[in-house]
């Protein structure tokens, strides 16, 4: 059975750059929390405007409902042609859902974003602000509170649909109500919060010399852990339910950000991971720089193997073995993806 023949949602990570160094992000070195970042992630790589247009204009995308700029390691405002992408979407009347930390660019830039997204139903900018002036920077290291407030205010004043997204940690849980009140005063249209899934440490802990215990995974160790977690549970793929695909800055097409993000964590460094994909489908099998978007969506992985892999409890490197990442994220005992509260303001 095909994973998704006609996507309704495309999630884009348009660059490898971000101005922050959040402790829960895979771009951060999880042992030292160095500002130098994860050495596996290249710098200054961008999905081109032309390739962005090619994907959206591919015949298989004639049922698109929304484009989400929500990469795992980037902030879309870092892309030098981000406004041009929004202009393209506005011309085609496709809604844009933009995720940002809000701590970069200028008020004038965000006024332009408002101009390009307003009046298109379901378009919005989600400002990810995890606390107030004394706590937001503890997770979003390198952020500037005053700049965030200026940018968000400018976007809202220009008619933009703004949402405040809040990750709850031990150090900011007491500020949820105060942040919600501030959001209402600033005319944010909604306030959404969820609890930390990444077990992130704070800047205070880092300053005190916190280092995660060294953990050297093996393929078999990960399989045992995944099988203990899934325990035969059915895969319930949230991406398939949304008819969604994720496109990374490098041009790779995945069902979700979790499979893409595996490239930058322990799982992606293991030889078995490379064998699972490249060994079965060839090099660059899912890359839009080598194949059209339609070709990729009609590859064996998407037309047969991905769905078939959910029907087995066996984790391995065969093309129809269950993916470790699927068990980690989309089984009954997996991490909670949708555990959040949204309140209209």
pLDDT grade, residue 259 (50/70/90)? very high
pLDDT grade, residue 73 (50/70/90)? very high
pLDDT grade, residue 287 (50/70/90)? very high
Q: Which of 325, 22, 331 is nearest to 169 (CA)?
A: 22
For the ranges 190-199, 210-219, 245-254, which has the lowest average pLDDT? 210-219
Per-residue model confidence (pLDDT) at position 226: 77
pLDDT higher than threshold 70 for residue 83? yes
Average pLDDT (317-338) is: 79
Compute the mean pLDDT over every residue in the chain, rounded to the nearest whole number: 92
Q: Which two tokens stand for residue 12?
A: 């884009």
Per-residue model confidence (pLDDT) at position 264: 87
CA distances from 275 to 219, 261, 268, 326 (A): 12, 17, 11, 17
Whole-angstrom Cα distance, residue 258 to residue 328?
9
Per-residue model confidence (pLDDT) at position 341: 66
Q: Which among 36-50, 180-194, 211-225 has the top mean pLDDT?
A: 180-194
Q: How far apart are the first and last CA of the chain?
A: 42
Average pLDDT (314-325) is: 92
Average pLDDT (206-233) is: 78
Per-residue model confidence (pLDDT) at position 333: 60
In the chain, pLDDT over 90 holds for what percent of residues? 71
The predicted-structure confidence for 85-95, as pLDDT tens digits, reads as follows: 999 999 999 99
Buried b (16+ CB within 10 A) or exposed e, 45-60: ebbebebbeebbebeb
Q: Reduce the DSSP state of residue 166 to 3 states and report it.
A: strand
Q: Which of 301, 279, 282, 300 is nearest to 290 (CA)?
A: 282
Average pLDDT (303-307) is: 97
pLDDT higher than threshold 80 for residue 212? no
The CB-side HSE value for 245 (13 A sphere, CA atoms) comes to: 26
Average pLDDT (311-325) is: 91
Q: Reduce the DSSP state of residue 247 to 3 states and report it.
A: strand
Per-residue model confidence (pLDDT) at position 210: 79
């Amino acid at each position: 059975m095909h994973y998704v023949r006609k996507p309704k949602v495309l999630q884009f990570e348009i660059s490898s750059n971000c101005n922050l160094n959040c402790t829960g992000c895979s771009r951060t070195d999880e042992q030292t929390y160095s500002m130098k970042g994860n050495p596996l992630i290249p710098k200054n790589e961008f999905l081109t405007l032309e390739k962005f247009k090619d994907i959206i204009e591919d015949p298989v995308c004639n049922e698109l409902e929304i484009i989400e700029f929500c990469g795992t390691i980037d902030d879309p405002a870092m892309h030098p042609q981000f406004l041009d992408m929004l202009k393209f979407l506005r011309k085609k009347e496709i809604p844009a859902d933009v995720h940002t930390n809000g701590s970069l660019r200028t008020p004038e830039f965000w006024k332009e974003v408002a101009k390009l997204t307003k009046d298109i139903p379901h378009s919005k900018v989600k400002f990810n602000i995890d606390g107030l002036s004394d706590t937001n920077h503890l997770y979003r290291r390198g952020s500037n509170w005053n700049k965030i407030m200026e940018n968000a205010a400018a976007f809202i004043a220009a008619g933009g649909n703004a949402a405040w997204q809040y990750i709850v940690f031990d150090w900011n849980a007491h500020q949820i109500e105060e942040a919600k009140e501030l959001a209402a005063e600033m005319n944010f249209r909604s306030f959404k919060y969820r609890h930390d899934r990444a077990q992130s440490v704070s800047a205070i802990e880092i300053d005190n010399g916190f280092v995660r215990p060294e953990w050297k995974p093996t393929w078999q160790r990960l399989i045992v852990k995944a099988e203990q977690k899934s325990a035969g549970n059915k895969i319930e793929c949230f991406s398939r339910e949304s008819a969604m695909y994720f496109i990374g800055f490098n041009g790779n097409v995945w069902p979700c950000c979790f499979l893409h993000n595996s490239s930058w964590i322990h799982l992606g460094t293991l030889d078995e991971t490379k064998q699972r994909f490249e060994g079965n489908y060839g090099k660059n099998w899912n890359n839009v720089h080598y194949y059209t978007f339609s070709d990729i969506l009609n590859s064996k992985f998407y037309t047969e193997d991905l769905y078939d892999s959910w029907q087995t409890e066996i984790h391995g490197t065969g093309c129809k073995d269950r993916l470790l990442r699927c068990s980690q994220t989309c089984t009954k005992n997996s991490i909670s993806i949708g555990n959040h509260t949204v309140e209209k303001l």
